[in-house]
Amino acid sequence: MSALLPLLAVTCGEPAGVGPELVATLAKHSVAAHLVAIGDRELIASRANALGIPAVLRDWAPGLPREAGCLDVLHVPLAEPSLPGVLNAANASHVLAILDAAIDGCVGGRFDGMVTAPLHKGVINDAGVAFTGHTEYLADRTHTDRVVMMLAGGGMRVALATTHLTLKDVPAALTAESLRQTLQILHADLCRRFGLANPRILVAGLNPHAGESGHMGREEIEVISPVLDALRAEGMELIGPLPADTLFTPHQLERGDAVLAMYHDQGLPVLKYASFGGGVNITLGLPIIRTSVDHGTALDLAGTGRADPGSLHAAIGCAIEMVSAQRRGHA
């Protein structure tokens, strides 16, 4: 790895989606990092050529220095040819091989972090592989018991206490232990990977008006507040539980470095309204750095040239920030 520039793996994701063409745009995207695209070299080249994207590709090997105007590629061949917008379950093994190459490179110290383009969970399951998503796969492959999803954009960082659950299942999943672990992971990574010495975390309540003193629900009294009090006693700066309908106002947001929302659609609609097309999905709690785009495979846009690379570029910028902060902490 370069002693100066972060070396980042960038996965191409689902070959039928927009990932390969978004990755191709990186050949001319100047950043303070050495980027290595992981995917099928010919697929990246063909998408670039079809869309008129100027992309000079070079086979990457460890120790190869960065060359301006050139995108290094760690070639992982397709199982079968891929057409834009046309899913093929035969290529599920290719998508997982891309992920494995990036994870192994990060765990082995060859890469400083990884940035992921979108994949399609359904087609991987159609291939007979039980797969629930990038986050869960990364946790399993790195032997991590618990991870936290955080999105950043629009001047906000929003982490989630629960993720992809139906609304009726959220209260039961919101236990004191799970909330404590989530806040500890969030606090630790804000310190370690964002360089915040004493991060201030705004914590949303679960119920309208944060429960209205128990008149609109008791989770704030019985679960959330006791956890916050215990962690405050350990030195964490936690503000809340706050009513979610006023938490995302400028006055409140300026008091904190990150927000913890209790469920998916409590926090993410606000962030995505403020940042869509430029948001970043970050997995906290892993032994490696991982950021991702905040959108899906966009099969309808694949091969049209209309896909916006803004979120991928933002995810790379965020990964660079995280690597730099971690290096400063180790200096």
Model pLDDT for residues 39-58, shown as the tens digit of each residue: 999 999 999 999 998 889 99
> What is the rounded distance in angstroms from the CA atom of residue 183 to the CA atom of residue 285?
11
Model pLDDT for residues 268-290, shown as the tens digit of each residue: 999 999 987 789 999 999 999 99
**Per-residue pLDDT at 331:** 59
Mean pLDDT of 119-142: 91
> What is the rounded distance in angstroms from the CA atom of residue 329 to the CA atom of residue 197?
10
Q: Do residues 277 and 310 lie in contact, with contact meaning Cβ atoms separated by under 8 Å?
A: yes
pLDDT level of residue 3 (50, 70, 90 thresholds): low
Q: Could you tell me which residues are beta bridge partners of residue 39?
A: 75
- Return the structure tokens found at 221: 């009294």
> Rounded to the nearest 10 degrees, what angle do helices 134-141 and 92-107 cross at?
50
pLDDT at 236 over 80: yes
- Residue 264 annotated as part of some ligand binding site: yes
> What is the rounded distance in angstroms from the CA atom of residue 54 to the CA atom of residue 21?
11
Q: Which residue has the higher pLDDT, 1 or 307?
A: 307
Mean pLDDT of 100-106: 98
Q: Could you tell me which residues are beta bridge partners of residue 303?
A: none
- Residue 290 annotated as part of some ligand binding site: yes
Model pLDDT for residues 79-88, shown as the tens digit of each residue: 999 999 999 9
Mean pLDDT of 190-196: 96
**Per-residue pLDDT at 280:** 96
- Residue 251 annotated as part of some ligand binding site: no
pLDDT level of residue 28 (50, 70, 90 thresholds): confident
- Residue 168 annotated as part of some ligand binding site: no
Single out the residue of 9, 97, 71 nearest to residue 289, CA to CA. 9
Model pLDDT for residues 216-226, shown as the tens digit of each residue: 999 999 999 99
pLDDT at 192 over 80: yes
pLDDT level of residue 113 (50, 70, 90 thresholds): very high
